């Protein structure tokens, strides 16, 4: 599919008002997206586990308005008006207007809430933009009911990408790949696809416990971090490594080869942070407790041969990844050894999930 496939046909009806609600999960990348060019085109392909319980629920109420001169919307976050989210939403609406031209015809009331505590340091832009995109696609389907399901999902992912790159991987489950790759059929820079190759059952119920090391504001945003990959001395090698890692993952994911999976995933996480540390200006998002946790994971894995590993996103929190078969032991390990490194002892259990769902009512 190309950009033109996402331009809508003529709308058949324009309801006066309505309301739609969708829940979208967060995702955790195994091969990381870091570096992009305008508009929201990734420098390298990435792949992520879709999560399950870390999610955003968004409802969009729409009401026809007379003047169609601009965007009109109210934004409520966890029941309260949220003015500081509005510029990001406005930029998003500007970027997607061409593809969903009904936007200026309505006044929207957008209400959004997260399943995870706000200020947990968990990025909500992926789940938030995915949920909002599904709501907008649902409204578009009311205006033009003939849109088929695969176009519906591809376009939701396309819109979500224009809000936040990683959001395009939160529409579907269980493993979603984004970014054109010559050996992955139907892969695209424009939207995420369900991973098209064999996936060993071990990965379909994989667990992710998010250890909340630091809940404060990040020193450097992802947006700035991505920009610092321009002119970065190691950028080209890094991008090539991501392409190669996606090739390697094909057999790892099919065979359920956890030893190789662990090597690749941990290397991706540390490479991401190595890119940050070697940017100019350089920066470090890990905290001392991030490193304490990583060392304890390595010691525990060595001593018990339990296939548990870590990954990191653009922050200090650690995602602990492990098969559901070793869950009981790993939960003891977390309680006994890792919780002390989390801010207020907090962590969140999650696992691989299956993507967005519509909420009735
Ligand atoms: C480190 O998707 O947050 O989590 O496109 O600027 O919104 P924008 O960036 P964003 O970047 C995510 C970076 C990452 C890696 C990943 O999820 O692949």
DSSP 355: B
Predicted local confidence at residue 7, as pLDDT: 96
CA distance 267 to 78: 37
Query: How confident is the model over 260-279, as a mean pLDDT?
Result: 98
Report whether residue 166 contacts ligand 1, using a CB cutoff of 6 Å: yes
Domains, the chain, ranges and CATH? 3-199 (3.30.230.10), 204-351 (3.30.70.890)
Nearest-atom number in ligand 1 for the CA of 165 is: 5
Predicted local confidence at residue 192, as pLDDT: 98
Sole residue written with tokens 């653009």: 314
Instruction: For residue 137, give both structure tokens.
Output: 């696609």
**Residue 218 backbone class (left: φ over 0; alpha: ψ -120 to 50; beta: rest):** beta
Dihedral sign computed on CA atoms, order 50, 52, 58, 59:
positive
Query: How confident is the model over 87-104, as a mean pLDDT?
Result: 97
For residue range 5-62, list pLDDT tens digits in order: 999 988 988 999 999 999 999 999 999 999 999 999 999 999 999 999 999 999 999 9
Report whether residue 169 contacts ligand 1, using a CB cutoff of 6 Å: no
Task: Yes or no: say if 346 and 12 are a contact pair by the CB < 8 Å rule.
Answer: no
Report whether residue 46 contacts ligand 1, using a CB cutoff of 6 Å: yes
Query: How confident is the model over 134-163, as a mean pLDDT?
Result: 97
Other CB atoms within a 10 A radius of the CB of residue 128 amount to 30
**Helices 235-255 & 258-277 angle (0-180, nearest 10):** 160
Spatial neighbors of 221 by CB under 8 A, at least 6 apart, are none
Predicted local confidence at residue 119, as pLDDT: 65
Report whether residue 178 contacts ligand 1, using a CB cutoff of 6 Å: no
CA distance 131 to 149: 17
Q: How far is the CA of 34 from the centre of ligand 1 (A)?
A: 7
Please choose from 85, 165, 229, 242 the residue to mutate so as to test ligand 1's pocket, defined by most ligand atoms within 8 A of CB. Answer: 165
For every residue of 275-309, DSSP letters joined together read HHHTSSS------HHHHHHHHHHHHHHHHH----E
Other CB atoms within a 10 A radius of the CB of residue 355 amount to 22
Residue minimizing CA distance to atom 5 of ligand 1: 165
Q: Average pLDDT over the chain, rounded to whole?
A: 96
Residue 178, beta-bridge partner list: 46, 192
CA distance 26 to 48: 10
Predicted local confidence at residue 121, as pLDDT: 67
For residue 68, what pLDDT band results from cuts at 50, 70 and 90?
confident
Cα atoms in the Cβ-side hemisphere of radius 13 Å centred on 187: 22
Predicted local confidence at residue 160, as pLDDT: 98
Report whether residue 271 contacts ligand 1, using a CB cutoff of 6 Å: no
Report whether residue 161 contacts ligand 1, using a CB cutoff of 6 Å: no
Query: How confident is the model over 92-116, as a mean pLDDT?
Result: 97
Predicted local confidence at residue 351, as pLDDT: 98
Other CB atoms within a 10 A radius of the CB of residue 171 amount to 33
Predicted local confidence at residue 175, as pLDDT: 98
For residue range 194-226, list pLDDT tens digits in order: 999 999 999 999 999 999 999 877 788 999 999
């Amino acid at each position: 599919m190309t950009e033109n496939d996402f331009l809508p046909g003529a709308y058949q009806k324009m309801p006066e008002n309505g309301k739609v609600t969708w829940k979208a999960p967060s995702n955790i990348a195994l091969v990381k997206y870091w570096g992009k060019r305008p508009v929201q085109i990734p420098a390298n392909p990435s792949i992520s586990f879709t999560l399950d319980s870390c999610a955003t629920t968004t409802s969009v109420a729409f009401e026809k308005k007379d003047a169609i001169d601009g965007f009109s919307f109210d934004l409520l976050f966890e029941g309260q008006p949220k003015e500081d989210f509005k510029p990001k939403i406005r930029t998003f609406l500007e970027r997607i207007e061409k593809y969903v031209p009904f936007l200026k015809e309505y006044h929207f009331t957008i209400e959004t809430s997260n399943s995870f505590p706000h200020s947990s340091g968990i990025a909500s832009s992926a789940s938030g933009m995915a949920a909002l995109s599904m709501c907008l696609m649902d409204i578009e389907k009311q205006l033009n009911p003939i849109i088929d399901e695969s176009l519906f999902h591809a376009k939701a992912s396309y819109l979500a990408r224009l809000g936040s790159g990683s959001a395009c991987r939160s529409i579907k489950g269980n493993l979603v790949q984004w970014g054109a790759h010559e050996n992955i059929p139907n892969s695209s820079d424009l939207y995420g696809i369900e991973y098209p190759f064999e996936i060993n059952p071990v990965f379909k119920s994989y667990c992710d416990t998010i250890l909340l090391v630091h809940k404060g504001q990040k020193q450097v945003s992802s947006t700035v971090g991505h920009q610092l990959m321009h002119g970065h001395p190691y950028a080209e090698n890094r991008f090539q490594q991501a392409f190669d890692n996606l090739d390697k993952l094909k057999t790892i994911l099919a065979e359920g080869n956890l030893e190789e999976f662990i090597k690749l995933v941990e290397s991706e996480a540390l490479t991401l942070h190595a890119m940050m540390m070697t940017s100019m200006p350089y920066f470090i998002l890990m905290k001392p407790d991030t490193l304490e946790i990583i060392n304890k994971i390595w010691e525990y894995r060595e001593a018990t041969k339990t296939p548990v590993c870590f990954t990191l996103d653009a922050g200090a929190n650690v995602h602990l990844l492990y098969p559901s078969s070793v869950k009981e032991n790993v939960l003891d390990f977390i309680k006994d050894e890792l919780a002390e490194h989390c801010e207020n002892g907090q962590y969140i259990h999650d696992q691989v999930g299956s993507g967005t769902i519509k909420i009735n009512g």
